[in-house]
Chains A and B, each alone.
Chain A
Amino acid sequence: MLSRTAAQLYWMSRYLERAENLARMLDVSYSLSLLPQSRGAAAEIGAPLVITGSWQAFHQKHAGLTADRLVDFMVLDLDNPSSIVSCLRCARENAHAVRGKITAEMWENINATWLEAQALPRSDLADAGACFDWVKERSHLFRGATYGTLQRNDAYWFIRLGTFIERADNTARILDVKAHLIGPGVAESAPDYYAWSALLRSLSAFEAYHEAYRDTLSARRVAELLILRRDIPRSLRACCDEILQILPQIESGEGAADRGRPVKRMAASLAASLQYGAIDEILVEGLHRYLSHFLGEVSRLADSIHHAYLEAA
């Protein structure tokens, strides 16, 4: 496959995954900010700005942080490169460039998503929840069209690779925002229940938590679920396992001539550290520190993917 094509497929799916996770993140912040007992609603609605590194850009444009301004900035603002519509535009532009490599169903789906995104109602907070659901639904549809129609060739594998690199990064960032609520000496309080349940719901893991633990919510178990459980599709472990499965599918030569060797080595090491990790060790190290380290590893893995496959000379 052409290196440029592979890069465009990979980024198409990263941007789409990013849009979906932004919707998940905004959904949780937004719903928490509505709770009367929420400690510091401003901190809650500010979280997406911190996670996406757009705190400054927001405050340059807006006088103060309110829920409707946040939604406007993070969902609809095309001038904000981190907004959902910006991500959808990038996804669609990449798809446009490789439309010959994806199926008609996939292209029509992502093109329609972009067309509909431009028509999303502005500043209509009553519809914010419906809007987040819409983003998730469009992402599910595209993934379904991909899964159901695309030939299992390199195009498919680069799309999957993009999905899981982005998801590993995003889940870690979403979890990191709540890292201060957990650790030795941090007492668990009632409002934390809402924070953790909202977090689980945003990652579609609320039911899975109860299925897995059959117990009340605890921060320690939430962290374990989202970092180490292989059966939770958005957990760090699941993402790294997927990446490890995907890499050998990509044609890149054999043995010592395999261009993908450094990538595979790095992915295997990352997957092993999760497979043989334990939540108590992680909490002793400090959740924030652990997640920062993990984000660095994912970023190095992404760089090495670029080097091996996407920028080939």
Chain B
Amino acid sequence: MHALALPDARHYDEMLLASGAVRPHYQGFAGWLQAQSPEALARKRREADLLFRRVGITFAVYGDEAGAERLIPFDLVPRVIPAADWQRLEAGLRQRVMALNRFLADIYHEQAIVRAGVVPAEQVLTNSQYQPAMRGLTLPHGIYAHITGVDVVRASDGEFYVLEDNLRVPSGVSYMLENRKMMMRLFPELFARYAVAPVAHYPNLLLTTLRHATTVENPTVVVLTPGQYNSAYFEHAFLAQQMGVELVEGQDLFVKNDYVYLRTTAGPVRVDAIYRRIDDAFLDPLAFRADSMLGVPGLLSVYRKGHVALANAIGTGVADDKSIYPYVPEMIRFYLDEAPILANVPTWQCRKPVELDHVLQHLPELVVKEVHGAGGYGMLIGPAASQAELADFRARLRANPGNYIAQPTLSLSSCPTFVESGIAPRHIDLRPFVLTGKEICMVAGGLTRVALKAGSLVVNSSQGGGTKDTWVLEENGSSTPGDKSFLPV
């Protein structure tokens, strides 16, 4: 019924082999898909659209007219990950996040990794994300990044590579949860047929993690949002509700006698842990940006006294900075004495003259990123850039090389996706969420983002990307009657 457009042989397709044959873990789904009439699927797509709009799962776009809300396009074809792939991914992510937390504790205390010469001192200490206010401060259980979102891509060799770590305020987990809810609502029969690992308990794990961020017994936890005009406000509200904790804005909190309190209809209530979805710079106008209206005056002083916990900690940005990223495999060896399970994307650091030369010579083949950038803003994709854009970036690189890194243009893997002409391969990435509490835990899955334009590699929702449900198949042990992970249609 549906002609699946053949993927380009130069990249890895999650569902199809270059010959057009379906990979084993997708066979059940592909068979089901073939059996659906185009009209029925079109109806389901409209239904999904309507439901998302009704539920109000929208995001605000910066630079758009005030308060404009858009729907993130949702694609009905799930991204399926076989159990063995996931096991390897999960082990690699645990290892990576553990090393990153160790790195943060180290650079704000002994700085052993700097003294050992593994990471250059100037890369850490003069980094704009390094917070001197965190020096020597001991955090409960030594945890800095309680919530980490790691962006992973699959390259043409079929291997997973870590594209970047997000240790500040990673977002997107609400879409992971809502996408699953949508798929279960639209296609319950698929879940009866496939053993898809559940993700719905994420808010529960998150709450457990946040409660472990403080040593207070029975702590009061809140989610701190910049407010309803923030692009991720839906997620802030969603997580607060799912965890059953208050969603607060800066104006709802105040500092008195070295503690943080909530303003409530029944008077002040003490707060012990804050899941803050506000960047460091806006947290406390007395300590950071004085013009911030979003934060809480005096919060840093309470934090430094250990009277309130923040998740994530202040100053975690130094570990996910793109100039620190090339050192993460070394961190894993240094702190854990293990070989990295997940590979980094090869990266040229433009601050090094030799590497800058290479980048300038090969600019049309490379992707250039700002070291502090995020969200797909301010980056150059060489193969897609015009001569003028290339010239502009050459000038920028020469003027301020330390501000940039460059990477080869990865051929991200693709996954069949509904487009106007039918179903065609589109490039995808994956952001699993890793929680660090008493132990490191994660739900099997993550947010799969998809670039909806043919050939495009930019998956960010702010740049017109969409999302897919992500299915991690449960272990296919033996063919017992209870096992349904690979049942033929």
Contact = CB atoms under 8 A, between A and B. Distances in A.
Interface of A: 1-6, 93, 96-97, 99-101, 104, 107-108, 111-112, 115, 154, 158, 250-253, 259, 309-310, 312-313
Given A99-B241, A309-B265, A108 B252 contact: no
Given A100-B238, A108-B55, A313-B263, A4 B228 contact: no
Contacts of A309: 265
Contacts of B246: 2, 5
A101 B248 CA distance: 12
B54 A259 contact: no
B471 to A, nearest CB: 24
Contact of A112 (B54, B227, B240): B54
Given A2-B246, A99-B241, A252 B266 contact: yes
A107 B55 CA distance: 7
Given A4-B249, A259-B267, 9 more contacts: A1-B266, A3-B252, A3-B263, A6-B265, A99-B56, A100-B241, A104-B55, A112-B54, A250-B265
Contact of B265 (A96, A99, A112, A312): A312
A6 B267 CA distance: 13
A181 B228 CA distance: 48
Interface string B256-285: 000000111111000000000000000000
Q: Which of A99, A115, A154, A251 counts the most chain B CB atoms within 10 A? A: A99
The 6 A-B residue pairs with the shortest CB-CB distance, nearest first, are A100-B241, A100-B237, A309-B265, A251-B266, A108-B54, A100-B240
A253 B238 contact: no
Contacts of A108: 54-56
B247 interface: yes
B293 to A, nearest CB: 14
A104 B242 CA distance: 12
Interface residues of B, number: 22
B37 to A, nearest CB: 29
6 contacts: A96-B228, A111-B55, A158-B265, A259-B265, A259-B266, A312-B265
If over half of B's interface residues share one DSSP class (helix, strand or loop), that class is named, otherwise mixed; here it is mixed
Nearest to B239: A100
A157 to B, nearest CB: 10
B252 A4 contact: yes
Contact of A253 (B54, B249, B252, B266): B266
A225 to B, nearest CB: 35
Contacts of B251: 4
Contacts of B228: 93, 96-97
A1 B265 contact: yes
Contacts of A107: 55-56
Contacts of A154: 265
B53 interface: yes
B267 A312 contact: yes
Contacts of B248: 2
A111 B267 contact: no
A251 B264 CA distance: 10
Nearest to A253: B266
Contacts of A252: 265-266
Contacts of B53: 111, 115
Interface string B51-66: 0011110000000000
Interface string B222-249: 0000011000000001101100001111
Contact of A2 (B55, B238, B252): B252
Contact of B263 (A99, A112, A312): A312
A2 B266 contact: no
Interface string B210-230: 000000000000000001100
Nearest to A95: B56
